Structure 1
């Protein structure tokens, strides 16, 4: 089975099995093609495979061991594999007729690794393609792209990433836009020769925020040995303010901004506040339960300097512990500046412009990226230096509806959660609470 990626033609060495509907070629619903089915593709029922059968399938597809196992059976009800077969259809099989049943969903690990780091969730990115391991590099790279590496390794969120120069060798190139489309690193690899460039990524290994607008916001999930390494949501009230501060710091973000339903005393995590990881905090063990999931937003490592208030001035950001001015590649506008104001909890952009100043080291940012994510997630170290800088003025007195820009016309969007009443000092209140 062959598929065309953005850059290359990649072939999966199987003509009888496939995973469909997943975010990569290594995940999805299992389908088989069989002579007895007149060559049509048919779904496979939950429980049809055991662990050994799933391992045979993943190996046949050029992937690694099963990661998310769907509804596997202790003894495969349809496929009975020894584990050393090269193809799933080589396994002994109990023939079954057409039936209505839930389809088996499976995710295999990607042939990917981080080497040279302190744990399996940090180091230099390497990938296997056509049986050959090489370093992975990219022409453009940022935290949003690094999220695909962490996701493929079943680690948490990317905390930091950078391109470095090493020895010249054959490498796999990865398409940044491709992995940002919620695909996988493996599906976006192509061979473009050799390079001295390499990618380093550090992921959080046991916590992540998912479903938010940026990597510093979303629903809290944890990964724990007692949960069989599966990711599980954390209930509202599980953290207090100190626990939320530990979590944000672990993810490379700043202090909690939108606190969700924090408890005055964390009901699950009891943090002193100086821990480096949330899972280092004392914890009250709780069993599986149905509850509202805790949502949290941490501040971005971002600031506006030289203005009359914290909500106006020159844009600066911190990446890997270093503060620099931020400059765009091109086409900076008010819609892009909205990401700056949003990351600072400063309302909406009032004005923005790009100016020339003294030459210095800068972080570059792609405008299209920040319009969908955040400034932090889109920073790149692509320029040695620049004399350009950005100035932004945000509305810091009143939380007005967020705007979009189309051909110079301002249009209000629907209000989000930020516009409701808040309990913490310094938070936004709607105009209806006391008027303007």
Structure 2
């Protein structure tokens, strides 16, 4: 090649289609480069859109991939321009789009982003790599072509891309179709319209793939005779399109336009485009010999089943199966989260080595969702705790449970919690996001909450509006977690104020819609009406996740008899039992159970006090600021749950005491500094600090449960509140105390937790 390169040809893989595209214009003159092998580029792997995928490079007459080591957005910009797009919007690591084959041509690529050619970037040299295909890089390109990349530049081959699939229900009698749509004609997006698939050779494996894409774990037989009649050409009927721009329900009968035929899936694919199929050419309205479109009927998971009989049957099946041995934690949306499995009565995580879409899909279907949209690595849903039970899980995709898949047992050296595997599953479209909106906020992530009740939009009363209700609202909106539950919204734009239509909302926090929470119904009752007291939210894509290091509590617990003359400050801050007021101050003492607590932030956002610095309270006696009224509860409980002693701890100093390797401290309390706990850091309260205790002066000898709860009033948003409690068994003989079996509240199986709670009761008989 000379100073001006020839226009490079690009080979782009879209679904199972190859598109040859030519560069829009020659590259401006640049440094002279010696002649070398011709380069071509394509996008491959599981396609969600035509502008993203695994990057593959044709070099030296062989296709290969690019390693994700040191990959940057600058690299993605250069590669996207090679593919005919103006720029990149993101990139993906760890073979997000599936593992490639062949050589790994490029490693440690380092582009500034403005280079004309990938060969102008630094890298280790062609074919010089220490990576495996589990590290294949992908790109997400901006969906805008470089000027000149027009239809004339794209030569379509016999096959083309299958990007969007839907089920079109056929409803008789003008009845409104209920969500979710579990049965209908399979349609694929073709250019600007929808086309059908001929059912020639259609089988249950194909149906399983489509049901998985629609968010359902399994398929079932369908009444073909009904659809034979329905598939005959009839005039279109008027219909509503009010359930979302991309998921509209088309319930009319219409002229069929066949596009695909001879679809052949194995049943393990996560997208129809990964199956083999053939396309009809030209006018295909009468092309299907059988005259029948492919029809699918799906079985919804427990969360999405309709009808009491169906739900009762599924509950019976779950009871027969016993306690689930798999769960998702830390996800903002339904059907996503860190994968946790139960082994030897203890919950633990899965290492992401060789974690892929097939294994992720087995998890999703086992939990009642569809196939996996993404198999996430690198603790993308936060780090778990406890053991890492499984490594190198290799599912075929047909297994009923993750436990049926081959895997390696873990050793301490193999994995850390920074490698915890997670999933995002396909879930059925329910239309909940069309029943809620935000108004008046400065960004799309904040505002007054407005809900649709019947045909009417209105505000929600903020009486009792807490983080739990706000979490449900943000989930329903698809905006992640609730950063703040706002009870006064006067400072947001009120130009389009609506009246109140919902009050008394009380949520558990896991609901998919505010309408699923308790509320007053039509009998509205609100203490403070008007826009000023309408409920509002500030949502966030990420959240913190606090948990206590349980072993440290067990290791450091002891009893101290502390003289009253040394407890004036503690009494002032309400750190003693109420009977201390009746003591003969300054004579005598109080018996204190002391222990250290180490509070880690394992989430994806820093933990910050709810209140701003302007409202922190100065305590002169201990000379520190309180940034939260209550940060932790310390309780001694009897086996039946009765409190016999309690303590509480204001967050007088939330700071980064220590951090994991490569994590920098950000928060320090000294000199009215910022308070908080950085992701990957922990705040240590030593046993010898005032109020780091429970006053047990009035507790009689016996066996008890020590319970510590962090952020007990849910004042600050977290991705997971279920791990905020820690429990220990305690034996107190009136002189000494033994603390043992400390664990995070949801770390054990239900049976193990029951045994734990019964254990102190059984020991009571042994105490003299």
**TM-score scaled to structure 2, two decimals?**
0.23
More strand by share: 1
Structure with bigger RCO (C-alpha 8 Å, 6+ apart): 1
Please identify the structure whose Cα radius of gyration is greater.
2
**TM-score scaled to structure 1, two decimals?**
0.36
